[in-house]
Structure 1
Amino acid sequence: MAGHETHYTLPRAAFDKPVKLLIVVAPYYKDIADDLVAGAKAEIEAAGGSWDLVEVPGALEVPTAIAIADRKSNFDGYVALGCVIRGETTHYDTVCNDSSRAIQLMGLQGLCIGNGILTVETRQQAEVRADTEQMNKGGGAAAAALHLIALARKWGGQSKGVGFNTILLAEQNDGSSTA
């Protein structure tokens, strides 16, 4: 009986220096995506962090957007959000497996990513998981990213700034290149 289970939740991550996350969402199911984003924003703000938000066409594009942002920008971590509801074909399996695998591989390379891409059988399951008053999986994904950022800082110090790459800004301002 899953409805009667209790789960332990880690205390909210705390930071002594600013933290900025990029929320990447695939709003295919807009109402579900909006709830996921609301949960993520609230959790980041409750931890004293800030965020930027980008939308991509679908769950398969979420990891690509994160990879681009990691190369071109300077975020401390990422929140991957979206929803995949099982349909009549095997496309569901491909989207679920490939998006999850790509996010996991980036995490193993050191990126701090909270995966909140819902993979569900029905719309009702998605609604419950996205709802900030029920399972709040968007908030959970943000909390996961924040905890990973805290670990990365604890073990290696802060190696990035807050949401922008100063070298790229300097190049844009004076037209020079460091390459």
Structure 2
Amino acid sequence: MAANEQHYTLPLPQFDKPVKLLIVVAPYYKDIADNLVAGAQAVAAACGAETEVIEVPGALEIPSAIALAERLSNYDGYVGLGCVIRGETTHYDTVCNDSSRGITLLGLQGACIGNGILTVENREQAVVRADPAGQNKGGGAAAAALHLIAHARRWAGARKGIGFRAEGGHLA
């Protein structure tokens, strides 16, 4: 069973300039969401990152809120947190797939995002995954965002002549 496996965890990055993270949480299952947020905030604090938490109605709104903040604010990265528990209809599949797809598309556009939206079969699985002293998936999502921020900062000044434009801006 996967729960008994050991996994390697990257050491947290270190920053020489302040980091500002926006945590976007869908608190549909409030106790689970609170644990995810606590885990994310603890990992962010371990890196010296400042966090702000906002709530949205559900997991489907998380990518939209991150997209708005990316366009209109000045955060270095984002953490999406929530929980989707399988029910009796296909709505579960829609919410899981579309929230994940939205976050992935934003990441491919350059946003530094950690996806901590739990997609589980039952409440017990969610409780174990959200527990900051357990699997700490909220902390893992914050760590993912922080690692991406560290890479983005490392690569920010490294621009090369790529694409169809040769060095100097002239077409070949």
TM-score, normalised relative to structure 2: 0.90
Residue 4 of structure 1 deviates from its aligned partner by: 2.7
Alignment-derived partner of residue 5 in structure 1? 5
Residue 140 of structure 1 deviates from its aligned partner by: 0.2
CA RMSD of aligned residues (A): 0.7
Alignment-derived partner of residue 134 in structure 1? 134
Letter in 2 for 1:153: R
Letter in 2 for 1:94: T
For 2:57 and 2:23, the matched residues in 1 are separated by 14
Q: Deviations over 1:15-69 (max 9, x none)?
A: 0000000000000000000000000000001101101110000000000000001
Query: Which runs of 5 or more residues in structure 1 are unaligned?
Result: 158-179
Query: Which runs of 5 or more residues in structure 2 are unaligned?
Result: 158-172
For 1:2 and 1:8, the matched residues in 2 are separated by 14
5 Å-filtered alignment, 1:1-179, equals 1-157=1-157
For 1:2 and 1:90, the matched residues in 2 are separated by 25
Residue 3 of structure 1 deviates from its aligned partner by: 3.2
SS at match of 1:60: helix
Q: Deviations over 1:67-104 (max 9, x none)?
A: 00111100000000000000000000000000000000
SS at match of 2:59: coil
For 1:130 and 1:34, the matched residues in 2 are separated by 9
Letter in 2 for 1:142: A
Segments of 4+ moved more than 4 angstroms: none
TM-score, normalised relative to structure 1: 0.87
Letter in 2 for 1:91: H
Q: Percent identity at matched positions?
A: 75
For 1:32 and 1:136, the matched residues in 2 are separated by 11
